[in-house]
Amino acid sequence: MDIATVVGVLLGSTLIVMSIVISKGATLMGFVDAPSIMMVLGGSVCSVLICFPLRTALSVFGVTKNVLFHKHENIPDLIERIVSLAETARRDGLLALENRLEEITHPFIVLGVQMAVDGTRPEVIESIMRTEMDAVAARHRSGRNVMEQLGRFAPAFGMIGTLVGLIIMLGNMSPETIGSGMAVALLTTLYGAILANLYCLPMAEKLGFINQEEILVMEIIVRGIMGIQSGDNPRVIEQKLSTFIPPKFRATEKEAA
C-alpha cells in the first residue's frame, strides 16, 4: 500500500469535510446535491468514454488500485539479488541459474535469466527486454491519460452545472429563492474542483512517478542480466548498478554492510 497516497486522499477529504462542519451557519447536508453530482461525475465519465476505447476507459479502476496499493521496489535489495545471481553464474555457470528460478519473484528477472540460460544471443535478450519496457511505459501512459482527462473535464462540467443552475434560478427567481438557488448552482463548481485537484490530477502525477520508478527498476534489471550473460565480475556488476542509487544512500548501504 502506498501510504503517502492513502494519507493524502483520506486527510484531504477529512479536512474538507471538517472545514464545512466547523464553519458557522453551514451544514454538511447543505453541500450534498444529487443533480450536481450527476452533472460533474456523470459528465466527466461520459467525456472519458468518448475520448478512449471502452477497455481503456474502464482501466481507471485498475489505475486507481495501482495508485493506492503500489508496492515500491527496494532498489538496494534488488541489486543485491542480481549480484547474488551473478555470483552463482560466475561460480557454477549460467545453467546453474535455472535451479534458482523458483526463488526469483520478479517476473522481469525471470524473463531475462530464462533467456540467458537458454543461450539466447545478448542482443536478442536486450531487444526483448527493452520491448517489454516500452510496453509497460505505454500502458502507464494510457492509464495516466485517463486520469488526466477526468481531471480536465471535471471542472468544465462543474462550470456547466453552475450555468445550468443559474439559468434555472433566473427562470424562477424570487427574493425567497435567490440565495438557495445560487448556493446549489455553485455546488457543481465545487465538486468539479475537488474531483480534479484532490483526486484525478494528483493520481495522474503519482502514476507518472510510478512509471519512472518501474522503468528505472527494469533498466537496472536489464543491465544486470546483460552483465551476468557476458560473464562480468559480480563486484563490477554491483558497482555499475549502484550508480542508480543516490550517493548518500550508497554511503549508507556501505556503512550498513
Q: How far apart are CA 207 and CA 201, in angstroms?
A: 10
What tens digit of pLDDT does each residue of 193-235 get?
Answer: 999 999 999 999 999 999 999 999 999 999 999 999 999 999 9
pTM: 0.82
- Cβ 82 vs Cβ 221: under 8 Å: yes
- Cβ 238 vs Cβ 83: under 8 Å: yes
Q: Exposed/middle/buried for 208, CB within 10 Å: 0-12, 13-18, 19+?
A: middle
H-state helical runs in the chain: 3-21, 34-37, 43-51, 54-58, 60-69, 75-92, 107-117, 122-171, 178-194, 201-229, 234-242, 247-256
pLDDT bracket for residue 183 (50, 70, 90): confident
Best CA proximity match to 79, nearest among 195, 250, 208, 198: 250
pLDDT bracket for residue 173 (50, 70, 90): confident
Domain boundary assignment for the chain = 33-59+85-257
